[in-house]
Structure 1
């Protein structure tokens, strides 16, 4: 009799505990269709995109891959300041412009950030730089491209994970370097080595 009344008290308590545990588990699950985007990897087909150049002209990835390989460089944009490592990286690629052109390669640099004043910040970024004819700076206002490619670094004073991809004529990714820090960028010599095999 004692055992039976003791069980009657603990059974509802056990049910409540199990119910609460299940609720906690489901709170951490994302709804269907809200899965986190993962950046593309070597062998993946590069997702098409449309972005604007500073002159307002819209370009898409496929119009350049039809002509030859594309080096797609995702910069940090303007996280409250002009990134010195991005400046250095772009400078190294500009210094290798003749070699990149010889490989029939276009360099697309994506400058992401909030839409407000992004064009002005991008213009500041290239001040003092002469972009070769096969280099294009694209702006990604509101992070539409950055999020679609799974490269959004959603933290205070951050914009995007600095990344470099080589995309071939079939829009297949042949090289991918995604940095989870401000440094650790893809050296231009690594890119030139990949391009010699295309």
Structure 2
């Protein structure tokens, strides 16, 4: 903990380029790495994102931006991410970022290279100085960080 988060730029589903170092200038960031589309929309990713959306006011009240990274093959990542987001109603302080051909996933050493897999589900909390103050990576499909856990960690950090 306390290490600088590797900077990155990814394009959001809406076509905007989001750079981590720019995002952290204005707020802490919750960075959630999803599994993407390993042949189906991951039901655990769906539940996790719905949990975060359901608790979006808590993130807004804390002044936190949520970045969701959706990895996949370049040729289909945008279409699959659009399909994933279609029922989510992501708030304005949430961005669904595309990770074509796993460039981000590999840079963060989260590529799950087993057959039918994409990325290890992970959550990072990054402060305004670009330092990671919490990280959790699951080597299974489950073991995700809930919105309540993240909000508690953010409140603890701000004390």
Bin the TM-score by the shorter chain.
over 0.9
Deviations 1:134-165 (A, max 9, x none): 00000000111000000000111000000000
Greater fraction helix: 1
**Structure number with higher relative contact order (C-alpha < 8 Å, ≥ 6 residues apart):** 2
- Residue 74 (structure 2) pairs with residue 125 (structure 1): no
Match of 2:108 among 143, 149, 152: 149
| Corresponding residue of 1:32 | none
| Runs of 4+, deviation exceeding 3 Å | none
Cross-structure match for 1:163: 122
Match of 1:61 in 2: 20
Offset from partner CA, 1:89-108 (integer Å, 9 cap, x none): 00000011001001000000
The answer for the alignment partner of 1:9 in structure 2 is none
Q: 2:65, 2:128 → 1: CA distance? A: 11
CA distance in 1, matches of 2:119, 2:30: 17
Distance 2:19 2:96 in 1: 13
Equivalent residue, structure 2, for 1:139: 98
Q: Which runs of 5+ in 1 are unaligned?
A: 1-41
Give the superposition deviation at 1:55.
2.3
Query: Is 2:133 aligned against 1:174?
Result: yes
Aligned CA RMSD, in angstroms, stands at 0.7
From the two aligned structures, give the one with the greater strand fraction: 2
Tell me, which stretches of 5 or more residues in structure 2 are unaligned?
none
Please state if 1:45 is matched with 2:4: yes
Residue in structure 2 matched with residue 23 of structure 1 by the alignment: none
What is the deviation of 1:63? 1.3
Partner of 1:66, secondary structure, is: helix
Q: Distance in 2 between matches of 1:78 and 1:100?
A: 26
Give the C-alpha shift of residue 187 in structure 1.
1.4
Out of 19, 22, 39, the residue aligned to residue 80 of structure 1 is: 39
Aligned length: 157
Give the equivalent residue in structure 2 for 1:115.
Answer: 74
The CA distance in 1 between the partners of 2:150 and 2:126, in whole Å, is 11
**TM-score, normalised to structure 2's length?**
0.97
